[in-house]
Structure formats: C-alpha cells, structure tokens
Amino acid sequence: MTESQPRTQPSLRVDLAEATTRLAAAGVESPRADAEQLAAYVLGISRSRLVLADWQDGARDQFLALLARRELREPLQHIVGSTGFRYLELLVGPGVFIPRPETESLVEWAISAIRPDGRPLIVDLCTGSGAIALSLAYELPRAIVHAVERDSDALVWTRRNIESIGVPVALHQLDITGDVAAALPDLAGRVDLVISNPPYVPADETVEPEVGDHDPQIALWAGADGLDLVRAVERVARGLLRPGGLVVVEHSDRHGETAPAVFRGWDEVADHRDLAGRDRFVTARMPLTKQRGSSTGQ
Ligand SMILES: C[S@@+](CC[C@H](N)C(=O)[O-])C[C@H]1O[C@@H](n2cnc3c(N)ncnc32)[C@H](O)[C@@H]1O
C-alpha cells in the first residue's frame, strides 16, 4: 500500500475468523459462537444476520475491546449484560449467578407436574437472578410465586429482573439454612411446589475460570460432598409443602444417587437427566401423612 491510498479495515468475516482463533487459544469452549455473539451485540443485530453485515462506525473497535475481555475468560453473559432463559431475557452481571440452560429442565418438569387449571402456590429457594421464579410466574400466570435469596448482591439483580420482566414474584431475603418455614408463617404447610437450584459444587471440584472467578462463591460451593444446600432444601420443603406437594431440586451430575437419598421417607422419589443426558435433578412428593419436623431425609 502506498501512503496516499486510504487504509481499509479488515472485514467482519476476517475479524470473526481471527477472533475465533484467539478465543480457542484462550480455552473458550465455543469460540466461534462467542465471537459471533459479540459481533452481533455491537452491531445490534441477531447472529443469523451477521452473514449480510459488515463493520460500521466504531463497531470494530468496540468488538475488539469486548473480545479482549472474553479472551480473559470474562463470561459472555456479563459482557453483553443479559442471558436467555426459556422465554425470558434476564439481566446479569457481577454479583449474581448466571442461569444455565440445564436449569430450564426443572422448570419444564414443574410446569408439566402442576395442574394447569389451578392456582398453585410455588416457592423458589435460592432464586439468584430470579430465573426459575420469573419463568414460572410468566408461564403459569395463575400461580402465586415466592422467591427466597440470602445474598444482598444477588438480590439487586433479582429486583432488577422482577422490574424488567414485570410479572408478580414475592421476594424474601432469607437464609435457607435457618428456619424458613417459621420466617414465612403464612406459607408453612400450604405450598404446592418447592423448586430450587441451590449451590451444589463439592469442595474438591475444579471449575472453569468463567465460573470460579465470576459467579459468586456463595452460589457455587456446598460443603465437602456438595449436598449441604440440597439437605437444607429438603428440610425447608418439609416445612413448607402441603401433604402431596412436590419438590424439585437441581444437583451436580455426581449426585445422581446421593441427592435422591436425601429424600428418604418421601413418596415418588425420582432422579432425572438434563438434555445432555447427565443426572441433573431430583423430584419427590410430600407423603399424604406428613412427618413435619422429623428428619425423614437423613
Ligand atoms: C446456583 S445459584 C442458582 C440461582 C438461580 N436459582 C438459577 O438457577 O440461576 C444458587 C443461589 O443460592 C443462593 N444461596 C446460597 N446459599 C443460600 C442460603 N443459605 N440461603 C438462601 N440462598 C442461598 C446464592 O446466593 C445463589 O443466588
């Protein structure tokens, strides 16, 4: 190129190929998809329209800046500020756990297990962004949905999402290792469904940088066997559910046998796989003769 010729910037296609190589080298699991999502985000278009697009104005510089953040393994969802969960787009960022696709299966199970004509009373324990509670309130408009969360930083995001989605969810700041049934006296013994994706990473497990460095620690770790919070959910569910009520709890793929064992004494205890075929959540029904207050689980 001579000095008098105008400089041309690389095309979007060339930059996407280069970005994919850089993200792959950084260990990102889905480098092409992430590069495309960043480009679509800065251009304000859907990924499927990238094939017809090219850089405009300052979009390339913005893309390169965001790419550098992703290369350092900052989660894509934090960079773009939101994530999809079932029918909803939820706001996420530092301080709140990013909802995962596998959790959508619990919501699917709950919706199919609940009578569509009723007015079910539902409690989501460990709600984080509110993904489960808001999806249930959105997809079951007759349901009465309560959500429980301990962490003040997470609650900032729960409130933002309740506001932005605009469906009714009653939010309670509570520690589920405490006496939640006593803290919610109007609900004790009356709830139709308790649902939870609690922290469940065992202490000895190694997690990806996106998880360990960016999801809140309180959202991840759950004791030596990873079941501390599953046990807390079982105890709280026993206090909240009506006889015949249902509980559904997500667990790690290492817990396909140990999580159901926590629900000893319950009826219809079953474990379920996610769409990737991994053991993912346990469901159980409160016996019609309820053993309130006694530990049926351990
Ligand atoms: C794995 S995240 C799940 C968040 C959300 N339910 C989802 O599926 O995306 C677990 C959540 O439990 C909350 N949590 C941890 N310990 C808790 C406790 N003792 N009581 C209430 N919430 C707790 C964390 O702050 C975090 O928001």
175-208 pLDDT per residue, tens: 999 999 999 999 999 999 999 999 999 999 999 9
72-110 pLDDT per residue, tens: 999 999 999 999 999 999 999 999 999 999 999 999 999
40-65 pLDDT per residue, tens: 999 999 999 999 999 998 999 999 99
Could you tell me the distance, in angstroms and rounded to a whole number, from the CA of residue 61 to the centre of ligand 1? 37
Could you tell me the distance, in angstroms and rounded to a whole number, from the CA of residue 285 to the centre of ligand 1? 22
Best residue among 97, 126, 176 to mutate for probing ligand 1, ranked by most atoms within 8 Å of CB:
126
Q: Which of residues 292 and 108 earns the better pLDDT score?
A: 108
In this prediction, residue 294 carries a pLDDT of: 46
Q: What are phi and psi of 80, to 5 degrees?
A: -90, -15
- Nearest C-alpha to atom 20 of ligand 1 is from which residue? 175
Measure the CA–CA gap between 269 and 263, rounded to whole angstroms. Answer: 7
In this prediction, residue 2 carries a pLDDT of: 47
Helix residue ranges, H only, the chain: 12-25, 31-43, 59-71, 76-80, 104-113, 131-139, 152-165, 180-183, 209-212, 228-240, 258-262
208-260 pLDDT per residue, tens: 999 999 999 999 999 999 999 999 999 999 999 999 999 999 999 999 999 99
In this prediction, residue 139 carries a pLDDT of: 96
- pLDDT above 60: residue 3: no
Nearest to 140 by CA among 160, 156, 124, 154: 124
Nearest to 28 by CA among 97, 79, 87: 79
Query: Could you give the percent of the chain with pLDDT greater than 90?
Result: 91
Residue 99 Cβ < 6 Å to ligand 1: yes
Best residue among 102, 151, 220 to mutate for probing ligand 1, ranked by most atoms within 8 Å of CB:
151
> Which residues fall within 8 angstroms of residue 159, CB to CB, at 6 or more apart?
171
Cβ-defined contacts of 74-78 (< 8 Å, 24+): 74/210, 74/214, 75/210, 75/214, 76/34, 76/37, 76/38, 78/214
- Nearest C-alpha to atom 26 of ligand 1 is from which residue? 219
DSSP assignment string, 49-90: GGGG----TTHHHHHHHHHHHHHTT--HHHHHTEEEETTEEE
Residue 226 Cβ < 6 Å to ligand 1: no
- Going by pLDDT thresholds of 50, 70 and 90, the confidence category of residue 164 is very high
Could you tell me the distance, in angstroms and rounded to a whole number, from the CA of residue 217 to the centre of ligand 1? 10
Residue 158 Cβ < 6 Å to ligand 1: no
In this prediction, residue 298 carries a pLDDT of: 31
Could you tell me the distance, in angstroms and rounded to a whole number, from the CA of residue 228 to the centre of ligand 1? 12
Report the length, in residues, of the chain.
298
pTM score: 0.93
Cα 188–chain centre separation: 26
Could you tell me the distance, in angstroms and rounded to a whole number, from the CA of residue 125 to the centre of ligand 1? 7
Measure the CA–CA gap between 13 and 45, rounded to whole angstroms. Answer: 15
Residue-wise burial string across 217-232, b where 16 or more C-beta atoms lie within 10 A, e elsewhere: ebbbbbeebbbbbbbb
Tokens of 23: 């993200």
Measure the CA–CA gap between 7 and 9, rounded to whole angstroms. Answer: 7
Residue 106 Cβ < 6 Å to ligand 1: no
- pLDDT above 50: residue 284: yes
- Catalytic residue ranges: 97, 197-198
Arithmetic mean of pLDDT, 162-187: 97
Residue 161 Cβ < 6 Å to ligand 1: no
> Which residues fall within 8 angstroms of residue 283, CB to CB, at 6 or more apart?
109, 113, 246, 247, 248, 249, 268, 269, 270, 271, 272
101-143 pLDDT per residue, tens: 999 999 999 999 997 678 999 999 999 999 999 999 999 999 9
Residue 85 Cβ < 6 Å to ligand 1: no
In this prediction, residue 282 carries a pLDDT of: 98
- pLDDT above 70: residue 4: no
The atom of ligand 1 lying closest to the CA of 220 is 1
